Amino acid sequence: MPLTRREVPESGPIVSAEEYDALAIASLQNHEARRYVRQLGNLPRRGLMLDTMRNRRRRFTAYDGMLQAPDVRNSLRASVDTRFWSISQVHAWSTCPFRFFMQRMLQLEPLDTDNGRELDALAVGRLVHDILEHFHQRLQDRHMAPAQQPFAALKEELQRACQQSFAVLESQGQTGSRLLWHLRKGPWKRSNGYG
């Protein structure tokens, strides 16, 4: 689930008052939305200015890491001219020069990583493989040939395999945020609660 939805979800609840407010602002015309955000206080006003300077200009600005001071630019040029840059590094610079400068030149990493809130792609891939392994093992143990079974029976076996894999992950405390985990496993949870 995106944490910054701009449209009312087709299904599922609006998660918080902040999301409700963001959806209300997104429904306004641009000038009305900007006027509303400016009235919310100093932090939203600064965020709006940052968004304008970084995302609504046709050229890079100091807010994108485009340094203007001649001595700083000369020093930076001297340090980068002697290095070879890969295509992925050039692409990273073209996407966000400031992020490139912080990561590649200063070797800094973000402090506020979102580790633990949501399963990463590797964990999801392992979970899917684990579910499929349990599913095929259940079919083999019950001597069920998939081509000869009705869809409802296969679906029931797959749901049981999901529940088995979910229970293991939950017992190890590796599911991340309870709400995000509940939404991720939503189609496979049983109808009587969280699964």
| pLDDT per position as a tens digit, 146-179 | 888 888 888 888 889 989 988 888 888 888 777 7
Q: How many Cβ atoms sit within 10 Å of the Cβ of residue 176?
A: 18
Q: Is 0.85 topped by the overall pTM?
A: no
Q: Does residue 195 belong to any structural domain of this protein?
A: no
> How many domains are there within the chain?
3
The pLDDT, as a whole number, for residue 48 is: 79
Task: Please report which confidence band the pLDDT of residue 123 belongs to, taking 50, 70 and 90 as the band edges.
Answer: confident
Residues spanned by the domain of 130:
121-188
51 assigned to some structural domain:
yes
What is the reported pLDDT for 5?
A: 57
Query: pLDDT digit string (tens) for 133-147?
Result: 999 888 888 888 888
Boundary of a domain, candidates 39, 56, 73: 56
193 falls within a domain:
no
pLDDT band at 193 (very low <50, low <70, confident <90, very high): very low
Q: What are phi and psi of 54, to 5 degrees?
A: -95, -35
Domain shared by 125 and 184, yes or no: yes
